[in-house]
Amino acid sequence: MSEQIESLRRELADWLTPRLAGPFGQLRHRGGPGDEDALGVERKEWEQELARGGWSCVGWPTEHGGRGLSIAEQVAFHEEYARLGGPGRMGHIGEGLIGPTLIAFGTEEQKQRFLPGIVAGTEFWCQGYSEPNAGSDLANVQTRAVRDPDTGHWRVHGQKVWTSLAHESDWIFVLARCEPGSQGHQGLIFLLMKLDQPGVEIRPIRQLTGTSEFNEVFFDGAVAEAGHVVGAPGDGWKIAMALLGFERGVSTLGQQMHFAHELQLLVDTARKNGGAKIPVIRARLAEAALGLKVLRANALRMMSGADDGQLRREALSYKYAWSNWHRELGQLAADVLGPDGDVIDGELNRLQQVYLFSRSDTIYAGTNEIQLNLIAERALGLPREPRPVVPSKG
């Protein structure tokens, strides 16, 4: 088995290295979290190059255009890809979230219509869950979907927010309320909608980084076709939650390789600018390195257990652990940079990005506060908060 994994690593490295040294050189280590607005056109070309090499959707079954890799092979793929500086994946929402959801719950027509575009890197997706009044309390979604009795299509009115990559995407999946007067988890619908149509407006949100990776998406009578409902109307919550469950932590090993790259940049900077001579900085750098090692062991534990559908303690605590580790790394980056951390040289450098963008890590996909509720209630069995809590992803 490990021989098979080694040969997969070699095959990927042989394919990736010349491309990142040559035609796609400017994309190396670019486009990750905090840098998702970088080089959009080039990264879309990269997605198609990946597809030509057979490196997109590697965890999908072969019948849907994937490679059918095992969990261990997917881990190796993500690690090696990130280690070699593979660009942030413009297609990750299609590949990691909506694709697996359609494979599990989609109609034949939906699979035939949408899966090939995801595999080929020609159609890009974004996620329409959060709203101004439905963040931590995602079930409070107010966007309305009304069925046109003549055509069977759905007309959508409302607003989504924190939509990553909306401005680069072709399609959005939307959680909306299809039963007027319904509340909470009831009466929701899961829709697939084209972004390039009348009644859809995308406004970038200027973040505290000064850049824009997130957007607001406004719907004013935009249409979702009758055949583009996933599951039955009213089952939207079930589909929305199942979608979040497909990310079984496999790509987190790749994320950790990004973190390792950032940590190395930080160590190099500290050695150059004298930060490495300060005892407390040394201790904090060591702690960061050890913390990353522990996150890796945690992720491996998550994948070594039986898949009994229950989130175990190491999985429930993982989001809180990695996001706070990363935010701490950001603070350390700022402290190592010193006064120069405040100086912008053209654009934010990688360490400045880490410092600023990591502030969002402890907010999106379930804030620190929601994570602690989840841990207390699901892992420790403590009394539940008055309202149901669910994680939501921007």
Partner 1 sequence: MNLELDQDRQMIRDAAEDFLSAYSDSAKVRAAHEAGGMDAGVWQRIAAELGWCGIAVPEEHGGLGLGLFELALLQEQAGRFLLAAPLFSTACLAAPLLAEAGTDAARQRWLPALAAGELTATVALSARGLDPFAVGDGVRAEPDGNAYVLTGRCRHVPQVLGTDLVIVAVRLGGEPALFALPADTAGATLMPLETLDQGRPVAELVLDGVRLPADSWLDAGDVAAIHRALSHSAIALAAEQLGLAQQCLDLTVAYAQERQQFGRPIAGFQAVKHRLAEVLVKVEAARSAVYGAAAEVDAGVSDKELLFAAASAKSFADAAARFAAQEAIQLHGGVGFTWEYDPHLYFKRAQAFSHWLGSADAWRERVAAQLLEDAA
Of 242 and 379, nearer to partner 1 (C-beta) is 379
Q: Does 6 bind partner 1 (CB under 8 A)?
A: no
Write down the number of H helices and E strands in the chain. 13, 8
Q: CB–CB of 165/35 below 8 Å?
A: no
Q: Does 285 bind partner 1 (CB under 8 A)?
A: yes
Q: Which stretch binds partner 1 (CB under 8 A): 15-23, 102-110, 292-300, 329-337?
A: 292-300
Kindly report the backbone phi and psi dihedral angles of residue 188, in degrees, each rounded to the nearest multiple of 5, phi listed first.
-105, 155
Distance of CA 188 to the CA centre of its chain: 23
Q: C-beta of 184: minimal distance to partner 1 in Å?
A: 21
Count the residues of the shown chain that bind partner 1, applying the rule CB under 8 A. 41
Q: Does 297 bind partner 1 (CB under 8 A)?
A: yes
Of 158 and 249, nearer to partner 1 (C-beta) is 249
Residue where the block lists tokens 């149509």: 197
Distance CA 118, CA 125 (A): 8
Q: CB–CB of 229/267 below 8 Å?
A: no
Q: Does 200 bind partner 1 (CB under 8 A)?
A: no
Q: Does 5 bind partner 1 (CB under 8 A)?
A: no
According to DSSP, residue 308 is labeled -
Q: CB–CB of 223/155 below 8 Å?
A: yes
Residues 6+ apart with CB under 8 A from 298: 314, 317, 318, 321
Which residue from 321, 334, 365, 390 is in contact with partner 1, where contact means CB under 8 A?
321
Which residue from 221, 385, 387, 388 is in contact with partner 1, where contact means CB under 8 A?
385
Interface with partner 1 in residues 221-260 (CB under 8 A):
none
Tokens of 30: 């670019």
Strands, DSSP E only, in the chain? Answer: 125-128, 144-147, 154-161, 171-177, 188-194, 200-204, 215-224, 229-234
* DSSP secondary structure letters along 185-226: TTTEEEEEEESSSTTEEEEEPPPTTSS---EEEEEEEEEE-G
Tokens of 167: 């401005």
Q: C-beta of 273: minimal distance to partner 1 in Å?
A: 12
Distance CA 319, CA 365 (A): 9
Of 283 and 344, nearer to partner 1 (C-beta) is 283
Q: Which stretch binds partner 1 (CB under 8 A): 15-23, 36-44, 107-115, 262-270?
A: 262-270
Q: How many angstroms separate the Cα of 194 from the Cα of each of 125, 164, 191?
A: 9, 16, 10
Q: Does 314 bind partner 1 (CB under 8 A)?
A: yes
Three-state secondary structure call for residue 127: strand
Which residue from 22, 198, 339, 383 is in contact with partner 1, where contact means CB under 8 A?
383
Q: Does 267 bind partner 1 (CB under 8 A)?
A: yes
Residues in contact with partner 1, shown as a per-residue x/- string from 332 to 371 under the rule CB under 8 A: -------------------------------------x-x
Q: Does 261 bind partner 1 (CB under 8 A)?
A: no
Q: Which stretch binds partner 1 (CB under 8 A): 43-51, 194-202, 241-249, 277-285?
A: 277-285
Of 129 and 318, nearer to partner 1 (C-beta) is 318
Distance CA 237, CA 38 (A): 33
Q: Does 174 bind partner 1 (CB under 8 A)?
A: no
Distance CA 21, CA 148 (A): 53
Of 172 and 315, nearer to partner 1 (C-beta) is 315
Of 22 and 381, nearer to partner 1 (C-beta) is 381
Kindly report the backbone phi and psi dihedral angles of residue 194, in degrees, each rounded to the nearest multiple of 5, phi listed first.
-75, 135
Q: Does 286 bind partner 1 (CB under 8 A)?
A: yes
Which residue from 21, 226, 232, 294 is in contact with partner 1, where contact means CB under 8 A?
294
Q: Is 247 a catalytic residue?
A: yes
Catalytic residue among 49, 179, 247, 328: 247
Q: Does 313 bind partner 1 (CB under 8 A)?
A: yes
Q: C-beta of 335: minimal distance to partner 1 in Å?
A: 15
Distance of CA 66 to the CA centre of its chain: 19
Distance CA 132, CA 309 (A): 31
Q: Which residues are catalytic?
A: 247
Q: Which residues lie near partner 1 (CB under 8 A)?
A: 267-268, 270-271, 276, 279, 282-283, 285-287, 289-290, 293-298, 300-301, 304-305, 313-314, 317, 320-321, 369, 371-373, 375-377, 379-383, 385
